[in-house]
Amino acid sequence: MSQSYNRGLIEDFSRWREFEAGMWAWIFHKFTGWVLIGYLFTHIAVLSTAIPAAGAEQAVLAAEADIYTQTIVTLEELLLVRVLEVGLLAVAVFHMLNGTRLLLVDLGIGLESQDKSFYASLILTGAITVASVPTFIAGAF
Amino acid sequence: MSTQIPKQTEKAEETEAETEAETPSKGDERRAEKRRRADEKRRQRQAEEAEKAAADEHTIELRVFRYDPDVEGKQEPRFDTFHVPFEKGMTVLDALMYARDTYDSSLTFRHSCRQAICGSDAMFVNGGQKLACKTQISELDEPVRIEPLPHAEVTKDLVVDMEHFYDQMEAVEPYFQTNDVPDGELEEQRQSRENREKVKMSTRCIWCGACMSSCNIAAGDNEYLGPAAINKAYRFAMDEREGEDVKQKRLEIIEQEHGVWRCQTQFSCTEVCPKDIPLTEHIQELKREAVKNNLKFW
């Protein structure tokens, strides 16, 4: 056989131009999954401050001056954290809804409308995120 | 419009002149003259056609991927532009054939039946795997960008090496096998109508390789059987005439590490399949079959 040519980057880039719904769903699912894993670590780090806080004296706890309460309060004071919380909710909601969609796909239910269910989960994610904004952002500004 | 590289032609003419000098026979001279005149004629015709095509309002601009390992100066891949006059009902393959016959006879692509059954001309058209003979030019945005199938090695221009794809297809033993043959010598192995309906879509595969090329997983994992091969396995695993033991063997092939479980339901294969085979559905069903086969309740 004659020499052949491996297009490498050319073909990899051109692949990115036309994605269908199923592909976007897969990419978003991967992305949100990794974001949630990352969040899990920070979540554990923050909650772990409750361990030293549990050993604190009653007076300290009553005055809300223990390390756990302090950490939570400091974090919630940051505008960035408030905004990121909205993002976290969006990511979690999409992951849940698309997870349900994948469950249906695995069960072989409604494979012909898999693109519609992806758009539905996107819209629902958007709606829930927008609805959550007042709760998360209240008093931040 | 010819994509012949000037350097090459010059060189060819030089060697021609050299051989002439070595053997100055009359016949050679005559032949050289004939060739020269034919060249001139062809060049003139190409120039005329190109002019006509450019002047014509209904022309299609094709951008075609070119690569030829055997010709120095064409080893660096590039895109060539062809202007093809549009005709009603023109397919991508028609346009390519026009470009090849009129402008550059070295433009290489596979095609045979031109009616979407031989599966030779799957290409990457405007960013999607399409069967060139089944894709209407009128449905595409201009310029029409035509590339060889992604994730396969390019042999020349739009021709890719399909060997790996065929290997994967053969790995699932894509032929009817059975251990329970009917007793009578002339007795038929009948399939029920329901069973035929079940495998109907999966029998339509034309081995064009579009699904394999579109699959992200197959691109990253060379051992993955790929949608077409799994669809083939589905076609026979679901055929009731094959019997339990053969089905068992088939399930063992498809539930290997690089079998059905690699599929991540991106639906790319289902989207690109020119024969509208619900590939993902078939893969998912085989996954469930594999689970049912391995689950034991006691």
pLDDT digits (tens, 9 = 90+) for B257-267: 899 999 999 99
Domain for residue B34, yes or no? no
Q: Which of A115, A11, A32, A15 has the alpha carbon at shortest distance from B280?
A: A115
pLDDT of residue B101: 94
Query: Which of B102, B127, B151 is the C-terminal boundary of a domain?
Result: B151
Domain for residue B9, yes or no? no
Are B166 and B114 contained in the same domain? no
Instruction: Provide the CA B178 distance to its chain's centre, in angstroms.
Output: 32
Nearest CA in chain B to A12: B150
Q: Left (φ > 0), alpha (ψ -120 to 50) or beta: where does B249 sit? A: alpha
**A108 and B281 in contact by Cβ < 8 A?**
yes
Instruction: Provide the CA B274 distance to its chain's centre, in angstroms.
Output: 11
pLDDT of residue A130: 94
Q: What is the mean pLDDT of residues A18-31?
A: 88
CA distance A111 to chain B (A): 7
Are B212 and B125 contained in the same domain? no
Contacts with A115 from chain B: Cβ below 8 Å: 267
Are B139 and B239 contained in the same domain? no
Domain for residue B147, yes or no? yes
Angle between helices A114-137 and A21-47 (to 10 degrees): 30
Are B113 and B179 contained in the same domain? no
B135 inside 8 A of chain A by CB: no
Query: Residue B223 maps to which CATH number?
Result: 1.10.1060.10
Are B171 and B130 contained in the same domain? no
User: Who's near B115: CB < 8 A, 6+ residues apart?
Assistant: B133
Q: What is the mean pLDDT of chain B?
A: 87
| Residue B220: band (very low, low, confident or very high) from pLDDT cuts 50, 70, 90 | confident
Confidence check: pLDDT of B7 > 70: no
Are B86 and B113 contained in the same domain? yes
Query: Which of B130, B151, B172 is the C-terminal boundary of a domain?
Result: B151
Query: Residue B124 maps to which CATH number?
Result: 3.10.20.30
Query: Which of B132, B151, B170 is the C-terminal boundary of a domain?
Result: B151
Are B106 and B214 contained in the same domain? no
Q: Which of B201, B210, B204, B250 has the alpha carbon at shortest distance from B230?
A: B250
**pLDDT tens digits, residue range B91-146?**
999 999 999 999 999 999 999 999 999 999 999 998 889 999 999 999 999 889 99
Q: Which of B242, B249, B236, B170 has the alpha carbon at shortest distance from B203?
A: B236
Two structure tokens written together for B243: 């019997």
Are B203 and B118 contained in the same domain? no
Taking the alpha carbons at both ends of chain B, their separation in whole angstroms is 74
B266 inside 8 A of chain A by CB: yes
Are B128 and B73 contained in the same domain? yes
pLDDT of residue B51: 73
pLDDT of residue A137: 84
Instruction: Provide the CA B200 distance to its chain's centre, in angstroms.
Output: 23
| Residue A1: band (very low, low, confident or very high) from pLDDT cuts 50, 70, 90 | very low
pLDDT of residue B56: 62
Are B137 and B195 contained in the same domain? no
**pLDDT tens digits, residue range A70-111?**
999 999 888 899 999 999 999 999 999 999 999 999 998 888
C-beta separation of A19 from B216 below 8 A? no
User: Who's near B176: CB < 8 A, 6+ residues apart?
Assistant: B236, B239, B241, B242
Confidence check: pLDDT of B153 > 50: yes
Contacts with B271 from chain A: Cβ below 8 Å: 20, 22
**pLDDT tens digits, residue range A48-74?**
988 888 887 888 888 888 888 899 999
**A26 and B128 in contact by Cβ < 8 A?**
no
Contacts with B153 from chain A: Cβ below 8 Å: 4-6
Give the C-alpha distances (Å, rounded to integers) separating B71 from B46, B190, B212: 22, 55, 30
B281 inside 8 A of chain A by CB: yes
Of A103-107, B6-10, B238-242, least confident by mean pLDDT is: B6-10
C-beta separation of B230 from B245 below 8 A? no
Q: Into how many domains does chain B fold?
A: 2
B262 inside 8 A of chain A by CB: no
Contacts with B77 from chain A: Cβ below 8 Å: 5, 7, 10
Domains and CATH numbers, chain A: 21-137 (1.20.1300)
Are B169 and B276 contained in the same domain? yes
Q: Give me the domain span that covers residue B231.
A: 162-183+190-294
pLDDT of residue B54: 67
The question of ipTM being above 0.85 is answered as: no
Q: Left (φ > 0), alpha (ψ -120 to 50) or beta: where does B127 sit? A: left
